[in-house]
Structure 1
């Protein structure tokens, strides 16, 4: 029989899982997030961690004697162009280095963490994009040889089984890219959107940790933090305010909410107790009600990055 206030797996009754996305920028210190995940896990809250690592990927590419390449998509989104050589460096950095190091940090903090890439068990899966539409010198072109994809399915059963057994999954791209001939190729996927897909599949709260306090009405003025968006009009204002990398996070938030997440919080990774503070109301909280009746698919982008 379960203890009062918990389910059979020891999780607090009525509380959804939490998916935490830890950014890969140099300015993001994961220490506070690691401690918070340890506290949540000790209290029986189920947590999945998804991480990026664009800075380390760039450094790995450069150490291999190449130059990181970024392109602008036809819809105006900037992302990494990942050819075969860049994909090799990407896999080395993300699944080989960062995922292992972050999993070790969690285990050191007492968290029973399990590191997974999106390829493991078909955790994150979708069709591979071998070509992308880009804009170069004001002209639209098609670049071939790309290794990226858009996540269409999440192996929620795998994650739920690990959570039920008391483990904390630590997930990173690459994802499982399905070829037209039935083959499988590891490909790049945006880590914010990966976290959104996982949160939607689990019906989890999503916390997107970054290097600023949330979404600002004026991106140059931290005093203009938008604390919440609960209506379609408020979401529209949030989307208009979000620029650059923040635009990707707001896009990921709408995808998570459309997929089944109840709320998304964009918050500062370097704040005291960043995850606990975000769940308590700090940062920018986006409620599912902000979607109104328009629960459709979020816009797909042609270029992605972790």
Structure 2
């Protein structure tokens, strides 16, 4: 069994539980750890006196606008996060190797230099973006590492394809994890700072536990707001690409990965996308 685990970048997410759980799973399960880091990027920008810029797309998804300066910060911050996670895993007895999406063109796709946004209620084109749309995940490097007993730690940037070659570009970590899970036919676990997807975003008692039909999928989509919209989008992409399940669960619970695989959180089954 292969599990792709995405550890969120929110301030409220402590990766220590996931690190310990990867160590507990090592030897029995093959794990790929994918990391975010948007909060750390924001903090690094603010320390330079730069306000992080977020934009809303016409389909309602809010994401970072990555200009040239921000891209430099993304590369530096995500590289540090990845190194720290590898060091923590090594300390826990896990043989870990860090990779960005650029390494071996692990994650690749066209660079998105201009994006459509909604600003003041109007559709506009904003140019100068350094992000990309995932088109391909090469599973071979990951399979090679996993078969050799290593735990890959993967994060942005990805290999952005342009007419004159490859350039590093920013990419969403949730959707990166989804693409990797699909390429490996692996279960996807998206760890975040809440217990799952709630019908009422302010009420944990309304957590949706299981999604296995088209009607249940429609309820899930309608319930997702804010940052959860992107996680539900990532779940759909993973399942459509071949992942058996996609789970949104609490990173701060005890043994968060094993708890998620045992039914904690919101578990979305492939049948929900097929029915």
TM-score (structure 2 length as normaliser): 0.98
Match status 1:196 vs 2:196: no
Distance in 1, Cα, partners of 2:28 & 2:254: 21
Partner of 1:243: 225
Matched, 1:29 2:14: yes
Q: Distance in 1 between matches of 2:77 and 2:227?
A: 21
The Cα offsets for residues 263-293 of structure 1, whole Å up to 9 and x where unpaired, read as 0111000001100100111110000000125
Provide the C-alpha distance between the structure 2 equivalents of 1:62 and 1:245, rounded to a whole number of angstroms: 21
Displacement, 1:65? 2.6
User: Which of 114, 118, 125 is matched with 1:131 structurally?
Assistant: 114
How far 1:64 moved relative to its partner? 2.4
Q: Secondary structure at the match of 1:272?
A: coil
Aligned to 1:46: 30
Tell me by how many angstroms 1:240 deviates: 0.5
For the residues of structure 2 that align with 1:200 and 1:242, how far apart are their CA atoms? 22
Aligned to 1:67: 51
* C-alpha deviation, 1:182, in angstroms: 3.8
2:213 is matched with 231
Q: Quick one: distance in 1 between partners of 2:85 and 2:139?
A: 22
1:103, distance to aligned residue in structure 2 (A): 0.9
Unaligned stretches of 5+ residues in structure 2: none
Q: Larger Rg: 1 or 2?
A: 1
Aligned with 1:151: secondary structure? coil
Does residue 143 of structure 1 match 2:134? Answer: no
2:68 maps to which residue? 84
State whether structure 2 residue 261 is matched by structure 1 residue 279: yes
1:260 counterpart SS class:
coil
- Of Structure 1 and Structure 2, which has the larger fraction of its residues in strand? 2
Map 1:83-102 onto structure 2 (within 5 A). 83-95=67-79, 97-102=80-85
Length, aligned pairs only: 275
Following superposition, the deviation at residue 167 of structure 1 comes to 0.4
Q: Which residue of 1 aligns with 2:238?
A: 256
> After superposition, what is the alpha-carbon deviation per residue over 1:18-63, rounded to whole angstroms, capped at 9, x for unaligned?
000000001000111001000111x331000001000000111122
CA distance in 2, matches of 1:267, 1:238: 14
Work out the CA distance in 2 between the residues paired with 1:288 and 1:182.
39
**How far, CA to CA, are the matches of 2:229 and 2:21 in structure 1?**
26
Task: Give the 3-state SS of the residue equivalent to 1:214 in structure 2.
Answer: coil
CA distance in 2: counterparts of 1:257 and 1:28, whole angstroms: 25
1:28 is paired with a residue of what secondary structure? coil
CA distance in 2, matches of 1:269, 1:148: 27
